[in-house]
Structure 1
Amino acid sequence: MFDFFRNNIKFLMAVLMLLIIPAFVLVGVEGYGTLGDDPNAVARVGGTDITRNQWEERHRNQIDQLLARTPGLQRAQLDTEASRFATLERMIDEQLILLAAQEGRFLVTDQQLAATLAQDPTIAQLRLPDGTLDLERYRQLLAGQGLTPEQFEESVRADLIRRQLIEGLAVTALAPPKLAEQALQPFLQRREIQFTVFRPDAFRAGIAISEADLKAFYEQNPNLFQSAEQVDVEYLVLDLQAVAQRITVSEADLRAHYEKTRVQLAAKEERRASHILLTLEPGASPEQQAQVRARAEELLAQLRQNPARFAELAQAHSQDPGSAARGGDLGFFARGAMVPPFEQAVFALQRGAISDLVQSDFGFHIIQLVEVRQPPAEPFEAVRERLAAELRQQQAQLRFAEAAESFSNLVYEQADSLAPAAQALGLTVRRAQAVVRSGGTQPAGLAPALSNERLLEALFASDSLALKRNTEAIEVSAGQQLVSARVLAHRPAQLQPLDAVRPQAREQLLQRRSLEASRTEGQARLADWRQNPDAAQGRLSPAVALSRTEPQGAPQEVLRAVLSAAAPAADAPSWVGVDMGPDGYAVIRINRVLEREAPDAVRAGLERNQLAQLWAQAETQAYLRLLRARFEVEILQPRPAADAAAAS
């Protein structure tokens, strides 16, 4: 229902920014600093450099994540000058938010950091039976991503600090009703239109193409008729799965791993508990805490005398709205699901036992352990193959990380051949012919690694073509596959003879002229009908009402043109023409502007919620503009031409 918020977010954000920014510019601001002279820096924020390597790695990782989630995308679609610059802008914003949070003395304690890490399902799997973290496996997990525990934890801490500040802005973002209506009104306006489309196909039959026309078109557009530039290459692949297949697992290792998994399975036991909670307000004074503790101790004393009253007292006194009505029952949960003090108490209890008072950030708890449920262990023989695969994978990850470093060094240090790296690591050099640039049609059967956009870019780089040296080691799949390649032969793109491309040339010229004819006819009818609206009688579609919320299937370019055109006068329609690219030319008559239909209560509430989210985003953008002025920000990378034009 509310796709219009997403499709038109740029427009709505512009409206909101006009409403919000004046509230921020009352704060004093400083000017931008002068450009630095560090050749490796692409931006400087408050004296901290963002280096080219950091920028490129961040952009590459973002593209890899997008490609992994959406296989149909091509790297060339994502790796544009504009998207690269957008990545840099995001990195600048993140650093600005961190600086502002540090200035405001935002802190993340070690306990908060530990609680956040404990909620990560991958890290949760590394817990030992006593609830502590298996530090060796933790280091191995991070090493596979090129991180140390200190680096990873510092990045999580910084992210939590930034999140505190941004969430604070979101909580305080309020859209006053009048301003909200001003922002929504342009979106919810409806216009009644009639239209016709002059399509290129309608003009094809009337277009004649002579030999002279064809030859002239061929000569004027040589780039359309070039053969694809090609290279023959040799390449070397280091693959995690191939490493794993060469690993032999001993019976003793399998048995030891089985015992370890049994222990880990025991650590996954679930416990069912009930509790009585007496809450403490944040910042409660010592006197207030003492009063709440005294009430909790009275309840505990009653339970010591008669444990069977637990559900009764929980219903009567617990201040946990989620469980009080159920007699304090919290259901089953595993380690990592509750705050640490509560969890430690639950997993230290015997079935049926009642804890002493447990204090957490929520208040004082009295806990009763109701039931223990533990997953059954499978027999060794039933899980032998799975355990062997797990062990091979674990060992392969370690060996792959070591081999990856050697692979990268060898292809770089002995750049005139892949043979030394292949011999040192027991790999096979393979060959491929007629490989073309990214976006072209590759030969059938080409190895998937050679279709990687980064590798193709490296192969067709000028130094690779001229010197025929190894490319750098390129990560095709994060932590799983590296590839390096070298050009053996290069065949530049060449203009193909006219006779070889005659059918394609004729079709392209016919399409171009058909499109020009449709555009010419559409523009002529538009000019005529503006002067003589009656001449359009019978040529236009039935009337239909369009809005951003109900586009009626209209393309975005048509919708934008209709809603941005001048409103019709009371006694005369307004007209607009829309170039629809290869689909032709549309002529649209705007009959009248229609009042917005009053929304029902549910829809109005959804609209307000959507707008509140966008209002928070707009306030965040306004705040970031303020920060760019408060802290010295230097962007040392030229803005892409299209962005620069839009910004001017």
Structure 2
Amino acid sequence: MLRLIREKATGWVAVVIVGLLIITFALWGINSYFGQGGEISAATINGVDITMRSYQQTFYNLRQQMQNIFKTTMTQAEEKLVKDEALRKLVEAELLNQVTADIGLRVSDRAVGESIKNLRPFQGENGFDRDIYEKSIANAGMTPVSFEQQMRLDMLSEQLQGAIAASVFVTSEETLRIASLKGQKRDIDYVILNTDSYREAISVSDEEIRQYYEDHLQQYLELEQVKIAFIDLDIDKLAEKVVVTDDDLLAYYENNKAKYETEEQRQVQQLYVKVAKDASEKELDDARGKVESLRELVLSGKSFEQIVDEHANDPGPLFEYSEHGFVARGILPAGIDEILFAGKEADVSETIKTDKGFHIIKIGKIKGGSSNTFESLHADLDRDYRHQQAGNEFFEQADKLTSLAYEHPDTLDLAAEAIGAEIHESEFFSRNSEKQDITSESKIITASFSEDVMLNGNNSEAIELGDNRVIILRVIDQTPEKRKPLETVRNEVVDAVHARKASEKTNEIGQEIIKQLQAGTDPGQVAADNGFEWTYAEGVTREDVNVARSVVRVAFSLGIPDAGHPVAGGTSLGTGGYAIVSVRGATNPVPEDIKEEDSKTTHQQLLQRTADSEWSYFINDIRDKADIRISADPIQGSSD
């Protein structure tokens, strides 16, 4: 984070260690371990400061999570919402921290330790792995002490929330009433009128096109664009320049043998026919014959994949195909395993009989074991040695690059000259860039359109693309958002006007049909006159997933039909169409008809909903009573 670097000026390493630790607990208590004396305050809660550092970290983490989820960059308006959410989380976290301290809630060290040991991100092959734990929290910029404090605070919050949840109750009358509503059913006829039937008959005038364009200018804007200059520091590029000799690789191999000494593993493909344990002699002969015919095809030069594509539907017993990556001894059935590890690469076996059926296998690549020689590992050794040698240079250059980019925020020239790097330039791109280059990366887009880089003209923070690639960029040119001329978007506007007019016509016809039904016209006659067919659905519930939600909502909003007199209604759809619903019958269970299991399920759902509501009320109450002071636009202010 460039703003953090400007406050502390500790170089690039201080930035890259602050990664994202994906874990399930809330971001509460974060201020307690990010707090530093003398830092700028983003907010003050009952006299306790929330530091700018904690606010920035929470904001950046939330923004990154949202971008990972939606696979797109954010607009400035969306970033404002994330800023507000980050501050809201921190304020509530500090309020909860203060409340739990005031009422004396406690969590033992042992309970904290057990909770940490059960967290999935810290599990290795044999359960909790301390190395994974320590590396993970270090990558998040935390120490075991600060992380355990975070866990303690989260568990205290759960205690408090649990206490509130335990205090709520729901009466049996309320449970039965809600269960009765959930048990209601409707017998309906419905039709969804779409706009396609009416679009061809609709004409659009030039005046309608012009007016629609003027009324919807926001839809026809060319987004603001930027052009960036950037330095791309990539360990792969540095590794290409490393001079390597066989003596270097041999020495590296001898010093790292343990890394390459792996158990022998082999790839294998398999074609087989399954047979039952009680298969007859004829079934066994047919299966064996099928596999032997498949083997002949393999020996004739066909691949296993070709055989599956071309012969899967041939007469005779069905055969199956499987492919395994590198497998060690003992993984496959004994008969297959023995042949697999006795042959050599590309061998095709004879027909193998196991208790599952008949098989043929083809041996793929072999690695590990006796094949692990210096010569066979040469390519891997060359790659690993180059990266090891380039590693130190990469971190030194990255630290120098970021420090100089911070110290001279209005230029990349000095940083590029210091590390001997080229300054690249992009074409113009927008927030929705889909170019097949660096400008399609969400991190690059976010940085390029950030306030600090685009508006304030500063170099960006160090942007990590993968583990061993760092980008620093700056905006060198930009074009503002502007209106697209009508002549360039005319076809889009015409389509939009067509869609709107077709939707209006569809809604008009739908409402006329409903009037006919309400007047007592026979539904079959209405359908025939208007050229559609009814869809019939019996016993539709409020949570029915087999009927469109819009139809279900209309059905349960209408009254109860009298005998022989359906009730009808409709609704406009987001697609432009119109849904018409006729309710023929209704079932409203009385409390005595509610099953005990349904009553229990409803009771638990109501308890959970009530507990959630009480928790929200509690949070709002302590917030209303607190002395909360928020700095104006603290993220922007911190970059000054």
Aligned position for 1:58 = 58
Aligned position for 2:473 = 485
1:483 is paired with a residue whose SS is strand
Describe how 1:104-119 pairs up with structure 2 within 5 A.
104-119=103-118
Counterpart of 1:57, as a letter, is Q
Aligned position for 1:505 = 493
How many residues in Structure 1 have an aligned counterpart in Structure 2?
A: 472
RMSD between aligned residues? 4.9
**1:459 to 2:473 alignment:** no
Aligned position for 2:93 = 94
Post-superposition shift, 1:587?
Answer: 3.2
Post-superposition shift, 1:580?
Answer: 1.1
Post-superposition shift, 1:206?
Answer: 1.7
- The answer (yes or no) to whether the contact 1:408–1:472 under 8 Å persists in 2 is no
**479-488 or 397-406: bigger deviation:** 397-406
Instruction: Give the counterpart of 1:446 among 421, 426, 437.
Output: 437
Aligned position for 1:595 = 588
Instruction: Give the counterpart of 1:568 among 560, 565, 578.
Output: 560
- The answer (yes or no) to whether the contact 2:63–2:82 under 8 Å persists in 1 is no
1:433 is paired with a residue whose SS is coil
Describe how 1:161-180 pairs up with structure 2 within 5 A.
161-169=156-164, 175-180=170-175
Aligned position for 1:151 = 146
Change (3 A) 1:119 1:218: closer
C-alpha deviations, 1:391-429, integer Å up to 9, x for none? 998998998777655444332332332233333345442
Post-superposition shift, 1:101?
Answer: 2.5
TM-score, normalization: structure 1? 0.58
**1:532 to 2:535 alignment:** no
Aligned position for 2:331 = none
1:435 is paired with a residue whose SS is coil
Change (3 A) 1:451 1:507: same
- The answer (yes or no) to whether the contact 1:567–1:593 under 8 Å persists in 2 is no
Aligned position for 1:435 = 429
1:409 is paired with a residue whose SS is helix
Post-superposition shift, 1:146?
Answer: 2.5
TM-score, normalization: structure 2? 0.59
Whole-angstrom CA distance in 2 between matches of 1:96 and 1:492 = 42
Whole-angstrom CA distance in 2 between matches of 1:402 and 1:548 = 63
Post-superposition shift, 1:155?
Answer: 1.7
Counterpart of 1:164, as a letter, is Q
Q: Give the fraction of aligned pairs with identical amino acids, expressed as a percent.
A: 20
Post-superposition shift, 1:125?
Answer: 5.9
Instruction: Give the counterpart of 1:550 among 539, 544, 547.
Output: 544
- The answer (yes or no) to whether the contact 2:230–2:473 under 8 Å persists in 1 is yes
Whole-angstrom CA distance in 2 between matches of 1:90 and 1:569 = 50
Post-superposition shift, 1:214?
Answer: 3.3
- The answer (yes or no) to whether the contact 1:551–1:559 under 8 Å persists in 2 is no
2:145 is paired with a residue whose SS is helix
1:180 is paired with a residue whose SS is helix
- The answer (yes or no) to whether the contact 2:122–2:129 under 8 Å persists in 1 is no
Whole-angstrom CA distance in 2 between matches of 1:166 and 1:395 = 53
Change (3 A) 1:215 1:401: same
Whole-angstrom CA distance in 1 between matches of 2:155 and 2:389 = 33
- The answer (yes or no) to whether the contact 2:234–2:469 under 8 Å persists in 1 is yes
C-alpha deviations, 1:227-261, integer Å up to 9, x for none? 45433322233457667888899877776666799
Whole-angstrom CA distance in 2 between matches of 1:168 and 1:155 = 20
C-alpha deviations, 1:72-130, integer Å up to 9, x for none? 56656994655654454444443333333323323333344344444456656699xxx
Change (3 A) 1:517 1:413: farther
Whole-angstrom CA distance in 2 between matches of 1:387 and 1:121 = 33
Post-superposition shift, 1:222?
Answer: 4.3
1:206 is paired with a residue whose SS is coil
Aligned position for 2:199 = 204
Describe how 1:604-619 pairs up with structure 2 within 5 A.
610=605, 613-619=608-614
Change (3 A) 1:532 1:492: same
C-alpha deviations, 1:325-380, integer Å up to 9, x for none? xxxxxxxxxxxxxxxxxxxxxxxxxxxxxxxxxxxxxxxxxxxxxxxxxxxx9898
Whole-angstrom CA distance in 1 between matches of 2:610 and 2:398 = 47
C-alpha deviations, 1:536-564, integer Å up to 9, x for none? 55337344343233242313x4444443x
Aligned position for 1:298 = none
Change (3 A) 1:631 1:475: same
Counterpart of 2:498, as a letter, is L
Aligned position for 2:415 = 421
Post-superposition shift, 1:433?
Answer: 0.8
1:507 is paired with a residue whose SS is helix
Whole-angstrom CA distance in 1 between matches of 2:237 and 2:93 = 39
Change (3 A) 1:254 1:470: farther
Post-superposition shift, 1:204?
Answer: 0.9
Describe how 1:340-351 pairs up with structure 2 within 5 A.
none
Counterpart of 1:451, as a letter, is S
Post-superposition shift, 1:624?
Answer: 3.4
Whole-angstrom CA distance in 1 between matches of 2:391 and 2:541 = 55
Whole-angstrom CA distance in 2 between matches of 1:609 and 1:258 = 59
Change (3 A) 1:533 1:211: same
Instruction: Give the counterpart of 2:578 among 580, 585, 588.
Output: 585
Whole-angstrom CA distance in 1 between matches of 2:146 and 2:237 = 30
Whole-angstrom CA distance in 2 between matches of 1:609 and 1:171 = 12
Post-superposition shift, 1:511?
Answer: 1.8
Whole-angstrom CA distance in 1 between matches of 2:232 and 2:576 = 45
1:490 is paired with a residue whose SS is strand
- The answer (yes or no) to whether the contact 2:511–2:570 under 8 Å persists in 1 is yes
